[in-house]
Amino acid sequence: MYEKGKTPFKIKVVEPIKWNTREERQKIMEEAHFCQAYIPAEKIPINLSTDSGVTAMSQEQWAGMMLGDESYFGCKNWFNLEKSVQDFTGYKYVLPTHQGRAAENIVCTTLIKKGDTVLANAHYGSTEGHARRLGANPVNLYTVEALRPELSVDFKGNIDIDKLKKAIKEIGSKDISFLNMVLENNFTAGQPVSMANLREASRIAHENGIKVVIDSARVPENAYIIKEKEPGYKDKSIREICHEIFSYGDLMHMSAKKSGLVNIGGLIATNDKDLYDKMQDLLLMFEGFVTYGGLAGRDLEALAIGINEGLEYDYLAYRVGQVEYFGELLRDRGVPIYEPPGGHAIYVDASRVYPHIPREEFVAQALVVQTYIESGVMGGESPSSLGFSRTDPKTGKLTPCPFELVRFCIPRRVYTDSQIEYAADGIKAAMDKGKSVKGLRFKWRPKSEFSGIFFYQLERLP
């Protein structure tokens, strides 16, 4: 387990932070229409809005980038990446992509038929967007425990097995494109999935002829938590646990900008040659040749190295431990968080921070805004009613988001514990503003529900 002070690296290169005043941040937020997507990154001193693509790379990765072979066909860096992915997943066939959404696009376009249903422990926004774009209905089958942020039990990212059986029976397996298992489950506050749950869900799906897709952006963190908390895995290595995870799937896709420890990149892997051939055609059309997939040779090399670094036990103990430490700091300050902490972020329960603001006044975004104004710390409302309420395609009715959470992600190998402590103080300062914080309403929003996750214009309610 992680012990404060026992960070498994030392700082070699630093990036300056430009601090601003509370008055300046108030003006910045108002000029951005209370939407962080319109704020220049340099105006955000501590940015915890995402853990995607914001990793600090290692000296080995930077050195590897100097060995980038930019040949169009068969560059040497591709073969290094292929081996890293094969060793990580146990899958034979590998396709590189420029990032996770490109990988999702290829997987979804290959597997989804119009009118189908896609089942999941809980889809995240981009996968759900691809499913809807292709005319499918994405359905989340999270457990009852997952809907209770205050309940501290392990593996709240699990799929509800009874709901899975019922859905297959009611929908019919021929009309289900695939079972999407997200590890960790980003929608339910970054909660891990147990091996027992994945194993049983996979068995049920395969018995019914349904393919299993593993969204693998944060599989190493999930594997670490399995090792620490699930009986029977204490003496297994992270690689062994990852191999078992992937043995229950038919293919995996990954936004490597998370646990791949790189700033750009994605991938797909499978043992299904038929699927590989179909996905390869789409890669050739939209990403590039199969040995670079939209990435430069130097990026392939950084990813080949990063995948292996991301599986190191000491790194993962530090990584998950820093998240747990952040959760402990917030608890000590009386800030209500989604329990227990997962492996990549702390999710603050905005409804309990500002109980006077109703969900239709975007209470989660109100907390995002106030935290930035008070401290310069940026989180992201996710999931909440602002970006994750959905219109049912069959009934036309709005399905409200079950959560009002603000996600404070910890970028990998970026911030020190003292900066995490500062962030906890900033969130507490925003909470202490209490009833003086008002809700928000739309001035403008895009027609696309998916674009609405990122772009909108809001104003304060009087």
In tens, the pLDDT along 75-129 reads 999 999 999 999 999 999 999 999 999 999 999 999 999 999 999 999 988 899 9
User: In a 10 Å sphere around its CB, with 0-12 CB exposed, 13-18 middle and 19+ buried, how is residue 409 labelled?
Assistant: buried
pLDDT at 399 over 90: no
Structure tokens at 51: 């853990």
Q: Looking at the predicted structure, is the pLDDT value of residue 394 above 70?
A: no
* CA trace torsion 138, 144, 145, 149 (10° rounding): 70
Question: Predicted confidence band at 291 (pLDDT cuts at 50, 70, 90)?
Answer: very high
Nearby residues of 286 by Cβ (< 8 Å), 6 or more positions away? 102, 105, 106
Cα–Cα separations (whole angstroms), residue 165 to 169, 292, 351, 392 = 6, 40, 33, 22
The whole-number average pLDDT for the span 388-393 is 72
The full DSSP string for 27-67 is: HHHHHTTT-GGGS-GGG-SEE-S--SS-PPPPHHHHHHHTT
Ranges of each domain in the chain? 22-51+312-460, 59-309
Question: Phi/psi at 179 (nearest 5 deg)?
Answer: -100, 120
Residues 6+ apart with CB under 8 A from 367: 348, 350, 353, 354, 379, 381, 406, 430, 431, 437
Q: How far apart are the first and last CA of the chain?
A: 48
Q: What's residue 387's pLDDT?
A: 82
Helix, strand or coil, per DSSP, at residue 139: strand
pLDDT for residue 453: 84
Using the structure block, give the residue that is written with the tokens 């509800």: 160
Does 397 have pLDDT greater than 80?
A: no
Domain at 22-51+312-460, CATH from 3.40.50.1820, 3.30.1450.10, 3.30.565.10, 3.90.1150.10: 3.90.1150.10
Tell me the average pLDDT across 176-197.
96
Give the pair of three-digit tokens for residue 4: 């404060």
Closest CA to 78 of 227, 297, 256: 297
At residue 107, the 3 state secondary structure works out as: helix
Average pLDDT over residues 297-307: 98
- Helix (H) / strand (E) element for 237: namely none
Q: Which H or E run contains 167?
A: helix 161-171
* Contacts of 444 by beta carbon, 8 Å cutoff, 6+ apart: 33, 456, 457
Backbone angles phi, psi at 376, to 5 degrees: 85, 5
Which residues are within 8 A (CB) of 147 and not within 5 positions of it... i.e. 6 or more apart? 402
For residue 316, the model assigns a pLDDT of: 98
Q: Tell me, what's the pLDDT at 1?
A: 63
Average pLDDT of the chain to the nearest whole number:
96
At 5 the pLDDT is: 75
pLDDT at 388: 81
Q: Is 235 exposed, middle or buried (0-12, 13-18, 19+ CB in 10 A)?
A: exposed
In sequence order, the 6+-apart residues with CB closer than 8 A to the CB of 123 are: 131, 138, 140, 180, 182, 187
User: Residue type at 9?
Assistant: F
Asked if residues 81 and 301 have their Cβ atoms less than 8 Å apart, the reply is yes
Residue 152 has which token pair? 């501290």
Query: How does strand 405-409 pair with strand 380-381?
Result: antiparallel
Query: Does position 64 have pLDDT exceeding 70, yes or no?
Result: yes
Q: What are the tokens at 310?
A: 């991301």
> pLDDT tens for residues 322-370?
999 999 999 999 999 999 999 999 999 999 999 999 999 999 999 999 9
d(CA 384, CA 316): 28
Burial 108-120 (b: 16+ CB within 10 A, else e): bebbbeeebbbbb
Confidence band for 2, pLDDT divided at 50, 70 and 90: low
Q: What are 129-179's pLDDT values in tens digits?
A: 999 999 999 999 999 999 999 999 999 999 999 999 999 999 999 999 999
Task: Give the mean model confidence (pLDDT) for residues 417-424.
Answer: 97
Q: Is the pLDDT of residue 426 over 80?
A: yes
Q: What is the mean pLDDT of residues 450-456?
A: 87
Judge contact between 399 and 123, C-beta under 8 A: no
Asked if 434 and 414 touch (Cβ cutoff 8 Å), the reply is no
Cα 342 to its chain centre, rounded Å, is 11
Tell me the one-letter amino acid at 421: E
State the amino acid at position 349 in one-letter form. D
- Rg over CA atoms, the chain: 21
Of 77-81, 280-284, 370-374, 390-394, least confident by mean pLDDT is: 390-394
DSSP state, residue 145:
G
What pLDDT sits at residue 195? 98
Nearest to 165 by CA among 154, 176, 155: 176
Residue appearing with tokens 């609405």: 452
Cis? peptide before 40, omega within 30° of 0? no
Q: What is the mean pLDDT of residues 245-271?
A: 98
Which whole number is the average pLDDT over 50-79? 97
8 — phi, psi (to 5°)? -85, 35
Q: Topology of 59-309 in CATH?
A: Aspartate Aminotransferase; domain 2 (3.40.640)
pLDDT of 366 reads 98
Q: How far apart are CA 271 and CA 252, in angstroms?
A: 10
pLDDT tens for 441-452 read 999 999 887 888
Distance CA(323)–CA(329), nearest Å, equals 10
